[in-house]
Structure formats: structure tokens, C-alpha cells
Amino acid sequence: MLLILPVLCAAARADDQAGLEAHALVQAMYSALWDGNGKAVVALFDPKMPGYKTISNDVMQLTRLSTAFSTIEFPANTGNDQSRDLDLNWRMQIRSYNLQTATERRARVKMHLEKEDGQWRITSFSPLDFFAPVHMGAVWDLISDALTALTEVSGDPSASAARVPSRFLSAFDPKMPGFNQLRTNVMGILGEGTVESSAVMVRNEGDDRTREVELEWDLSVVDRVTKVAIFQRKGDRVTLRMERQHGNWKIVGMDPIGFLAPPAAGRK
């Protein structure tokens, strides 16, 4: 097993006691995130700070679903024994507890700390959404809806070419490589019979803008009259590349693109 240790590099100007205390606060935040201890993270923030409720809710949701490993560099740690300003290069790798999803987040984080009654608290934090939970449900919802749409359209033998399958294809970016071939393939299998399709997500990695999802996909086409399977594909691995466009996820790549192609002559 490969163990990756965190890198926390304090700036040379942080060698005074207050600077070291500020550094220790960030170290405590790192440890609490790694342990999934949301309450310990939230306790480091001043409840009176702007955006405290957002930070608190985000941290609690994030640590309930995931663990977060951080690599943090300190370009700046300045101030005095009552007030500190921290400028951090923060990379956070968020992994769900079921190990199926992984997300990397990078940001230039700015924190202001103040000391009150001998205790340091974070009184300002930017960007405020840095600890937002990873909403991977939106990625799966898109894929699931596309699979459902494919099955629903194929079950209607009166479906015309004009109706083939706009809802399914709307999950894909029409500029993606192989889109025209994908459309031709789908129209081909719909012409063969009723499509039955199900998939299990076995890998989901990336960040908040791009992701790579691997599916274990079962596909069968059933004759509409005899109700007998014409051909089946069981447990094939299909990789989808996802991109967030204008606030919505789109599939921008599929490998192999021929997974949805009709079978070759004689193939069952």
C-alpha cells in the first residue's frame, strides 16, 4: 500500500509564536478533515464571521459523505499576536467513503484569524464554497435518465426517426468525437427491437468541472414480437468523460463508442 503524507510548508516569516499558532490551526483543520470530524473543523470558525452558516453546513455534509486529504502550502502567514492573515495554496482530494468517487479541488485560500480569550478563530474565509459537498448525484442522474430514455423510446414501436432518441442524445455534447456515429448506432439498435439496459457505476473521478465515469453496463435487445433476446452484452466496461457546461453536466466522450452499435451479422 502506498501511503501519501501531507506537505505543510510554513513561510519563513511564520517562525514567531503567533505564526506557529496560526500554522497549528491549519494543521488541526487538515487532521479533522482527514478524520471526517466536521464538528472539529467548524469549531475553528468564529460563529459571527460572514458566511459561517454556509461553511458550517458545507463542512458537516462533506465530512458525512467523504474524507478529505489536503496538501497545503503557505505563501504568506503575516500579522501579529492578535491578528493573522494567511494566504494558502490548498489542494484537497475528496474521496467518498465507499471509494467509488474521487474529486480534486484546488484554490488560493485566504484566511483571517483573530485571537480572543487566548483562542484563535477564523473570522474570514475565501472562497466561501471551498468545502461545498461533492454533488455527484447530478452526474449519475444524467446517466440514469439517459438510460431510462433509451428504454422508453425503444419500447414504442411507432416511434419515428424524428423521435429517435432526442432525450437520450441530449445527455451528450453534439460536438463530442463520434457523436454522429453514436446517433447512427442508437438508431440501429432501436430498429432491431426493444432495448433493455442497466449500468453500475464502478468509478467516478475528477473535479467539479470534469469527471471520468466508468460503468459496468448490461445491454440487451429483445424482439418486439417474440420477446426473445436478439443479442446481449453483459458487464461491458464503458468509460464516459463528463464536463460541466453552463451549470449542467454533459457527456463529452464515450469509449468504446461502438458499445451501442447493432451486432455484426450472426452475432448474438
Calculate the alpha carbon distances from 125 to 23, 25, 152, 221 in Å.
15, 14, 48, 54
Query: Architecture of domain 8-126 in CATH?
Result: Roll (3.10)
Model confidence at 162: pLDDT above 50: no
- Interstrand relation of 101-116 and 194-206 (parallel, antiparallel or unpaired): parallel
User: Could you tell me where in the chain the CATH 3.10.450.50 domains are found?
Assistant: 8-126, 137-260
How far apart CA 100 and CA 228 sit, in angstroms, is: 35
* 176-229 pLDDT, tens digit each: 999 999 999 988 888 888 888 888 888 888 888 899 999 999 998 888 888 888
Q: Which of 196, 193, 216, 192 is nearest to 204 (CA)?
A: 216
* 37-78 pLDDT, tens digit each: 999 999 999 999 999 999 999 999 889 888 899 999 989 999
* pTM > 0.75: yes or no: no
Q: Assign a CATH topology to domain 137-260.
A: Nuclear Transport Factor 2; Chain: A, (3.10.450)
How far apart CA 189 and CA 191 sit, in angstroms, is: 5
C-alpha cell read off for 46? 468564529
* 84-131 pLDDT, tens digit each: 999 999 999 888 776 667 788 889 999 999 999 899 999 999 999 899
